[in-house]
């Protein structure tokens, strides 16, 4: 399960009053689940979102550096200055056919010129998905090509508290989709929960298909919750 942080106050890397309420109500649901392991981004807004769930359960989350928001700043042509990668206007990025390719999406000059701690945008992407695969291997699933070998098949549920851009990177890796398509076409609202599960169609080999993306919208009173759910069948 991938959980985006609550409504953020980026100026202090924490949550707004609305975000704190979202995190509290999120805990009402997560605390009902049998969760084997929690992981969290090192950024404050993700840790604050996790805090209600962890406190109620008397648990701790393992902090993972690679789960911070994805470092994808480039000199975007529509703003003429350094800006986040996934806010391009549709009439601009959709004209680049390679952005739809799961392998060639990072070949664009602007992405190659982008700088991160690990190099260009693709280098950062490869670092993140490499660390993610190490985590999945810890839980019994080792990456082999485009699928995973179930070395220790299990029903464990793990929860990752992280960020929208980072979530799109993980989903692109699992589903074989260009992250450019997900960054610009997926909406993961604050405290939304994306669920994926392992599926062995052939013993020992599995995919992690997307199950659902849920967003709980709750009035201030907290008495009623509306669930908006998108599902790929």
Q: Report the candidate in 75, 76, 178 with the shortest Cα–Cα distance to residue 122.
A: 178
Q: Which two tokens stand for residue 81?
A: 């200055």
Q: 19 CB contacts (<8 Å, ≥6 apart)?
A: 5, 6, 7, 8, 9, 45, 48, 49, 190, 191
Is 206 in a helix, a strand, or coil? Answer: strand
Q: What pLDDT sits at residue 197?
A: 87
Angle between helices 17-30 and 44-57 (to 10 degrees): 40
The secondary structure of the chain in percent helix, strand, coil, rounded to multiples of 5, reads: 40, 25, 35
Q: What pLDDT sits at residue 218?
A: 40
Angle subtended at Cα 53 by Cα 62 and Cα 137, rounded to the nearest 5 degrees: 35
Q: What pLDDT sits at residue 82?
A: 85
Q: Report the candidate in 102, 99, 68 with the shortest Cα–Cα distance to residue 86.
A: 99
Q: 221 CB contacts (<8 Å, ≥6 apart)?
A: none
Beta bridge pairs of residue 74:
83
Q: What pLDDT sits at residue 59?
A: 98
Q: Which residue has the tokens 């398509």?
A: 181
Residue 92 gets which letter from DSSP? H
The pLDDT profile of the chain, 233 residues, written as one tens digit per residue, is: 999 999 999 999 999 999 999 999 999 999 999 999 999 999 999 999 999 999 999 999 999 999 999 988 888 888 878 888 888 889 999 999 999 999 999 999 989 988 888 999 999 999 999 999 999 999 999 999 988 999 998 999 999 999 999 999 999 999 999 999 999 999 899 999 999 988 888 888 887 765 656 554 443 334 433 333 433 33
Angle subtended at Cα 125 by Cα 119 and Cα 131, rounded to the nearest 5 degrees: 105
Q: Has this prediction a pTM greater than 0.85?
A: yes
- How far apart are alpha carbons 229 and 195 in whole angstroms? 11
């Amino acid at each position: 399960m991938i959980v985006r942080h609550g409504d953020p106050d980026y100026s202090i890397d924490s949550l707004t009053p609305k975000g704190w309420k979202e995190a509290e109500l999120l805990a009402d649901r997560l605390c009902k689940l049998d969760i084997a392991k929690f992981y969290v981004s090192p950024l404050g807004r993700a840790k604050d979102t996790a805090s209600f769930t962890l406190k109620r359960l008397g648990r701790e989350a393992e902090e993972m550096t690679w789960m911070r928001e994805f470092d994808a700043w480039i000199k975007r042509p529509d703003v003429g200055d350094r800006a986040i990668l996934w806010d391009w206007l549709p009439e601009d990025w959709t004209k680049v056919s390679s952005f739809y390719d799961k392998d060639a999406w990072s070949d664009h000059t602007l992405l190659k010129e982008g700088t991160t701690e690990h190099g260009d945008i693709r280098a950062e992407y490869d670092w993140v998905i490499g660390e993610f695969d190490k985590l999945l291997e810890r839980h019994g699933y080792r990456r082999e090509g485009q699928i995973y070998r179930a070395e220790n098949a299990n029903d464990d549920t793990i929860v990752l508290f992280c960020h929208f851009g980072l979530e799109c990177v993980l989903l692109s890796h699992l589903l074989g989709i260009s992250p450019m398509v997900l960054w610009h076409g997926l909406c993961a609202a604050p405290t939304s929960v994306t669920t994926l599960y392992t599926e062995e169609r052939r013993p020992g080999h599995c995919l992690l298909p997307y199950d659902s993306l849920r967003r709980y919208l709750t009035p201030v009173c907290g008495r009623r919750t509306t669930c908006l759910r998108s599902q790929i069948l």
